[in-house]
Amino acid sequence: MDTAAGQAGTSFDAVVLVGGRGSRLGGVDKAALDLGGHPLVDASLNAARGARTLVVVGRTSAPLPSRAVLTQEEPAGSGPAAGFARGLTSITDPASWTLLLGCDVPGAGDAVRRLLDARAAGGDADGVADVDGFVLTDADGRAQWMLGLYRTAAVRAAVNASAATNLSMRALFAGLDLVLVRPAGPEWHDIDTWADHAAWTERLDPQRPA
């Protein structure tokens, strides 16, 4: 599903991380994994279509939009926090907000709409004063850091204040004032295992064998 530019009056950039190892999927290129006839990363790329600047961090064999800025965390494989940091520094004219997405969330379109709606409910076009971002949770209320809409100035400051290499996302965002957004359904659920893949195949096409 697509996310229209300017939805909820929010100007944002997007960073999509594609460098996961896919270890529980046998080491496959997770972003390129077929789901319903399309690479898995397509859901995140479509969800980010409204971004002013789109950055893809990591390496994948999946086709990527020609407008995407391609980069790699340093050193390669040093984790999502390092990838996000690299993505942020690749944006030369940053918007007020930055969307962070993994490559493995088939429900990314619905997730991004939830985040943009949550931000819009907070007030003026530049967001709520003193709130640093909005993060979708899982069904149990746990933050899903790679389904987040973050105030750019706040996350850039957090990156500058830390050594992002091998840092956890929780630690990177520890000092930020974040609003947790509950999901409406399974849009938060990523694909880490073949069982996850089968479940999403069934959701997307109940008539098709998983």
Q: What is the pLDDT of residues 121-165, one digit of tens each?
A: 874 444 455 799 999 999 999 999 999 999 999 999 998 887 666
Assess contact for 131 and 179: CB atoms under 8 A. yes
Rounded to 10 degrees, the C-alpha dihedral 64/65/69/75 comes to -10
Distances (CA, A) of 79 to 82, 89, 165, 179, 192: 6, 16, 7, 24, 16
- Per-residue pLDDT averaged across 48-62, rounded? 96
Assess contact for 113 and 187: CB atoms under 8 A. no
**Do the bridges between strand 34-35 and strand 38-39 make them parallel or antiparallel, or are there none, so unpaired?**
antiparallel
pLDDT, residue 189, reads: 87
What domains, with CATH codes, occur in the chain? 7-204 (3.90.550.10)
- Is pTM beyond 0.75 here? yes
d(CA 41, CA 64): 9
Q: What integer best gives the mean pLDDT of the chain?
A: 87
d(CA 34, CA 204): 13
Percent of the chain with pLDDT over 70: 87
d(CA 120, CA 51): 16
**Between 197 and 20, whose confidence is greater?**
197
Sorted by sequence, the CB contacts under 8 Å of residue 163 that are 6+ apart come out as: none
Residue 33 pLDDT greater than 60, yes or no: yes
pLDDT, residue 88, reads: 96
Q: What confidence tens digit (pLDDT) does each residue in 72-128 have? A: 988 777 889 999 999 999 999 999 999 999 999 999 999 999 999 999 887 444 445
Distances (CA, A) of 8 to 30, 70, 121, 144, 193: 31, 27, 9, 21, 34
Beta-bridge mates of residue 47: none
